[in-house]
Structure 1
Amino acid sequence: MIVVTAPTAKIGRHVVEQLLDAGEPVRVVARDPRRLSPTIRDRVDIVEGSHRDAAVVDKAFAGADAVFWLMPSDLHAPDVMTSYVEASRPGVEAVSAHGVRNVVGVSALGRGTAAAGRAGNVTASLAMDDLFATVTNYRSLANPTFMDNTLRDIRTILGEGAIFGPVAPDRKLPLVATRDIGTTAARLLLDRGWTGFADVPVLGPEDLSGNDMAAVITDVLGIPVRYVQIEAAHLEAAMLSFGASPGMARAMADMATAKIDGLDDGVVRTAGNSTPTTFRQWCTEVLRPAVDAARS
């Protein structure tokens, strides 16, 4: 039995689908099972509730061989350590209590870089990884920025012809599609021959700058789009306007600053850690339909 947390999130949904396609028995932890697609709902064992809840994960992890762990950010938490590390402690305790042999977690690039200790959400994610690694075999999916984050820019793409970010316009960094993270996670969960702790970088196929991304979006959508650099402090203000706590808003700005300072530069791209979905392909298959829907 493989347990999948956050099964309705972009990554979790891909993990569930691929495990089921491989014939694996799957149990999911879902706060609202109605959000599961009808094609999935009848094929999985469902434990209703939050995987931050000790009673829920204790029930879900009983008899499990492996767990996919994705801890969403809690914008209302007082700080990132509470959001990621403290919220994960019930899961760690349940993994230990039930002898779950393998856990794959969604985390971030940055381990071993000078910026990792002051990188907000990333610093907390790495600490979460370390916590799980004390009780079981663990693989940390070390991700860069998600291509899918561009979906948040649809309003400004249509209204201002712009995407925004804190990194210099020509600074190239890795990007990854969430579906490729899901594929990597499913592969590790299906294998389960691995032991110990390791990071598994998931880098996407190429490094792109903000200007590169804007050029691709312009070409795919057929409308002019430019990249505009903003200060990290603007991200903090935006997070506060969305209802984030001061600590979580500050963490977002810290993560942005750390990326500017080389957080994502610590891993050399290889054939083994490069995933297939290009940004152009993602824009064609995901962004363009979303933009068309927003226009209608």
Structure 2
Amino acid sequence: MIVVSSATSNTGSAVAEALLATGEQVRVLGRSRDRLQRYVDRGAEAAEVRTDDPGSLREAFADARAAFVMIAPGIIPGSDDFPAHQRRVISAYRTALDGLDDLTRIVSLSGWAANYDGARGPVWGLRPLEEALDTLTGVEVTHLRPGWFMENALPMIDEVRATGTAHGLIPADLPLPAIATADIGAVAADLLTGRRKAGTRTLELQGPRDITLTEVTAAIGKALGRRGARYERIDSATMRASLLAAGFSPHMAGGTTAMTLDVAERRIAMIQPRNAETATPTTFEEFLARVIN
């Protein structure tokens, strides 16, 4: 049995889909059994759990030979103390996974922000999650550190469709290691099943090539038939104000802005080279073809 936590999240869903596609016996975890039904219809087991509840997690992982874990929700817009939520989730996973007889492999979703000791905002908990899982004995642990998710461009698609212009805090010419969530799911599935062995405990994943937001916006414009589409950089105060207007708490608006600024100013960056181990196949243009209809 392979257990996939947060199976209704973008990445958890990609992992579950990749495993089911190869006929693996899978148990999917999530906060809503109704949202897990699509996996049950394909032969998976389902368990309704909270990621900060060690008791229900322990029961759900009981007979797992491999487990995929991640901090979820990855963002709570109204939170006034998001690190406290992350600490509860990390502690719950550590307790739930400790000493399970059948468990041999764990794959965690971390991120390239874990490369930076001073990571702020929603990505603060990535390194602590890795460190907590590393204390488990008798189990092989691999932490995936993907770069900039191509799904981050989804709001840009809406902006370009509506106005022809996308906005963001990251410089237009900053090369980003863009990666599709589906590729992360495929790598995680291969590690969980043992079809792939990671050469290191932490594995960066960074797509086929770096891409700038100028290129991202141009590709979106081309796909939408808006060939004059352009990207405009905003400052941190403007980003924070827009998040507050969208309903974020001051704590979450400030943290999300700080996280993005760490990318913009290259404090969050890749360490491992792009090679056969770290590169994944989906191009941004292929990603767009899947999501734009």
Normalising by structure 2, we get a TM-score of: 0.89
Secondary structure class of the residue paired with 2:50: coil
Confirm whether residue 188 of structure 1 aligns to residue 194 of structure 2. no
What is the Cα deviation at residue 112 of structure 1?
4.4
AA at the equivalent of 1:146: F
How many residue pairs end up in the alignment? 286
AA at the equivalent of 1:277: T
Of 211-220 and 234-243, deviating more is 234-243
1:74·1:83 contact (CA, 8 Å) conserved in 2? no
1:223-280 C-alpha deviation (Å, 9 max, x unpaired): 1321111113333333333333332222211111111222124332113211111011
Aligned residue in 2 for 1:168: 171
Aligned residue in 2 for 1:225: 229
Aligned residue in 2 for 1:51: 51
Whole-angstrom CA distance in 2 between matches of 1:87 and 1:123: 13
Normalising by structure 1, we get a TM-score of: 0.88
AA at the equivalent of 1:256: T
What is the Cα deviation at residue 131 of structure 1?
1.2
2:40·2:46 contact (CA, 8 Å) conserved in 1? no
1:80-135 C-alpha deviation (Å, 9 max, x unpaired): 4223232221111010042433211111114444xx31432333212211111111
Aligned residue in 2 for 1:153: 156
Are the structure 2 counterparts of residues 111 and 11 from structure 1 closer, same or farther at C-alpha, using a change threshold of 3 Å?
A: closer
Aligned residue in 2 for 1:27: 27
What is the Cα deviation at residue 146 of structure 1?
0.8
Are the structure 2 counterparts of residues 19 and 218 from structure 1 closer, same or farther at C-alpha, using a change threshold of 3 Å?
A: same
Whole-angstrom CA distance in 2 between matches of 1:6 and 1:229: 33
AA at the equivalent of 1:126: R
Aligned residue in 2 for 1:200: 203
AA at the equivalent of 1:125: L
Confirm whether residue 132 of structure 1 aligns to residue 133 of structure 2. yes
Q: 1:270 aligns with which of 269, 275, 282?
A: 275
2:121·2:254 contact (CA, 8 Å) conserved in 1? yes
1:133·1:197 contact (CA, 8 Å) conserved in 2? no
Whole-angstrom CA distance in 1 between matches of 2:253 and 2:207: 27
* RMSD of Structure 2 on Structure 1 (CA): 2.3
Aligned residue in 1 for 2:262: 258
Whole-angstrom CA distance in 2 between matches of 1:155 and 1:20: 31
Aligned residue in 2 for 1:64: 64
Are the structure 2 counterparts of residues 195 and 108 from structure 1 closer, same or farther at C-alpha, using a change threshold of 3 Å?
A: closer
* Bigger share in helix: 1
Of 257-266 and 141-150, deviating more is 257-266
Whole-angstrom CA distance in 2 between matches of 1:267 and 1:120: 23
Secondary structure class of the residue paired with 2:177: strand
Whole-angstrom CA distance in 2 between matches of 1:103 and 1:192: 14
Whole-angstrom CA distance in 2 between matches of 1:12 and 1:273: 19
Are the structure 2 counterparts of residues 12 and 219 from structure 1 closer, same or farther at C-alpha, using a change threshold of 3 Å?
A: same
Q: 1:285 aligns with which of 287, 290, 293?
A: 290
What is the Cα deviation at residue 195 of structure 1?
8.8
Percentage of matched positions with identical amino acids: 29
Whole-angstrom CA distance in 2 between matches of 1:36 and 1:246: 33
Whole-angstrom CA distance in 1 between matches of 2:182 and 2:109: 13
Secondary structure class of the residue paired with 1:94: helix
Aligned residue in 1 for 2:38: 38
What is the Cα deviation at residue 147 of structure 1?
0.7
Are the structure 2 counterparts of residues 98 and 12 from structure 1 closer, same or farther at C-alpha, using a change threshold of 3 Å?
A: same
Secondary structure class of the residue paired with 2:167: strand
Secondary structure class of the residue paired with 2:118: helix
1:128-151 C-alpha deviation (Å, 9 max, x unpaired): 111111114321110112111211
1:102·1:192 contact (CA, 8 Å) conserved in 2? no
Are the structure 2 counterparts of residues 9 and 118 from structure 1 closer, same or farther at C-alpha, using a change threshold of 3 Å?
A: closer
AA at the equivalent of 1:130: E
Q: 2:241 aligns with which of 237, 243, 246?
A: 237
2:2·2:67 contact (CA, 8 Å) conserved in 1? yes
Of 70-79 and 191-200, deviating more is 191-200
Secondary structure class of the residue paired with 2:125: helix
Instruction: Flag structure 1 segments of 5+ consecutive residues without an equivalent.
Output: 290-296
AA at the equivalent of 1:81: P
Whole-angstrom CA distance in 1 between matches of 2:234 and 2:3: 40
1:19-58 C-alpha deviation (Å, 9 max, x unpaired): 1232321111122222235364351111113222222202
What is the Cα deviation at residue 176 of structure 1?
0.6
